[in-house]
Amino acid sequence: MQREKDVLRRAYHEYFDRSKRLMYNSRTKIQMSTILTLGIILFAISSIYFIIKPKEGFNSAFLVSFITLTSYLIMIEGNFVTNDLYWTRWIGYGISCSLLVYEISKKVGLDVSKQISNIFLTVIVMFTGALSSVSVNEYKWAFFAISSIAFGKLLYEIYNTKSKNLAALTPYILFGWCVFPIVFLFSNEGLNLITVETSAIIYLFLDLFTKIIFYIQNYKIAK
């Protein structure tokens, strides 16, 4: 009789624990869905804004918003989400941030060869970031180190120009770009010290700041 009671007690606790996990996962998905939906709305609006706003030459502002919109759609669709890791974010950044780096490289007066070099550095930063986010062993930190070194080299190339436009660009670099790896480090992609929802909210704010607000301000920065 006691054995039967123990079996029933274990079954009850297992069922209760499973129910709590299911409720937590359901709540997480709903919260993430809200955050990602907000991102979709913001970047849909910015895509429309930048495509109708007159701009001479290459319209990277529209492309960056449109690529980021696509990235948020991929994340909310969910087929490429593994263990709450939204690793496709970094693939999208590899494309959109390369365009951002191209614009900034022009603004600080770098020649074409340096512009191309900076674009490749950005691709390395984001691609190794994606690899780091899905790795579960010591290679995670090897990829993170490679990404960080490439990012440091990119910052050096930009700040080594001493351009007069750096003053206007610095807030987006220091309080935008440089925050991404910190969030990554503390998120479930790194040390897992903050929730998925918290990191998603911060990423959304950073995307808004570095991709929409930046380009609105960018129109005012002298070429």
pLDDT tens, residue by residue, 21-58: 444 444 455 689 999 999 999 999 999 999 998 777 78
Strand, coil or helix: 82: strand
**To 10 degrees, what angle do helices 60-77 and 88-107 make?**
170
Domain boundaries, the chain: 2-218
> Which range among 17-21, 63-67, 200-204 shows the weakest confidence by mean pLDDT?
17-21
Nearest to 168, CA basis, from 97, 220, 100: 220
Q: What's the rounded mean pLDDT across residues 178-191?
A: 95
Q: Does residue 169 have a pLDDT over 80? A: yes
The rounded mean pLDDT for the chain is: 87
Identify the residue whose tokens are 């929802």. 197
Give 220's pLDDT tier (boundaries 50, 70, 90).
low
Please tell me which residue, 218 or 155, carries the higher pLDDT value: 155
Q: Does residue 101 have a pLDDT over 70? A: yes
Q: What's the rounded mean pLDDT across residues 139-161?
A: 96
Please tell me which residue, 114 or 138, carries the higher pLDDT value: 114
d(CA 30, CA 34): 6
pLDDT of residue 140: 95
pLDDT of residue 1: 56
pLDDT of residue 21: 46
Burial of 69 per CB tally in 10 Å (0-12, 13-18, 19+):
buried
Q: Does residue 13 have a pLDDT over 70? A: no
Identify the residue whose tokens are 């010290």. 193
Largest CA distance in the chain: 84
pLDDT of residue 203: 97
d(CA 47, CA 66): 5
CB atoms under 10 Å from CB of 20, counted, come to: 10
Superfamily of chain region 2-218:
Rhodopsin 7-helix transmembrane proteins (1.20.1070.10)
Q: What residues are paired with 82 via a beta bridge?
A: 85
pLDDT of residue 194: 94
From first CA to last CA, the distance across the chain in angstroms is 84
d(CA 93, CA 67): 9
Q: What's the rounded mean pLDDT across residues 91-101?
A: 96
